[in-house]
Amino acid sequence: MPEISYSPMIISLAVAFVLTVGLGFPAIPLLRRLKAGQSIREDGPAEHLKKAGTPTMGGLFIIAAVVITALIVGGPSRQMFILIFAIVGFGAVGFLDDFIKVVLKRNLGLKEKPKMLLLILFGFLLAVAQLKFGGTGTNIFIPFVNADVDFGIFYIPFIVFVVAAMTNAVNFTDGVDGLASGVTLPVALFLALTSIGSGFGTAGIFAGAVAGACAGFLVHNHKPAKVFMGDTGSLALGGAITAVAVMSNTTMMLPIIGFVYVAEVCSVIIQVFVFRRTGKRVFKMSPLHHHFELSGWSEVKVTLVFTLASVLLCILGALIMR
- For 108-146, the pLDDT digits (tens) are 778 889 999 999 999 999 999 999 998 888 999 999 888
**Percentage of the chain modeled with pLDDT above 70:** 94
State how far the Cα of 118 lies from the Cα of 101, in Å rounded to an integer.
18
**Alpha helices (runs of H) in the chain, residue ranges in sequence order:** 7-33, 59-69, 78-102, 112-129, 155-173, 179-197, 201-221, 230-247, 254-257, 259-278, 288-294, 299-320
State how far the Cα of 72 lies from the Cα of 185, in Å rounded to an integer.
21
State how far the Cα of 243 lies from the Cα of 85, in Å rounded to an integer.
9
- For 159-197, the pLDDT digits (tens) are 999 999 999 999 999 989 999 999 999 999 999 999 999
Give the highest mean pLDDT range of 28-32, 39-43, 120-124, 281-285.
120-124
Please, which pLDDT band fits residue 321 given cuts at 50, 70 and 90?
confident
pLDDT of 1 higher than 50: no
The answer to whether the peptide bond before residue 287 is cis (omega within 30 degrees of 0) is: yes
Full-prediction pTM beyond 0.85? Answer: yes
Mean pLDDT of 75-91: 96
Bridge partners (DSSP) listed for residue 139: 150
Stronger pLDDT, 85 or 322, i.e. the higher one: 85
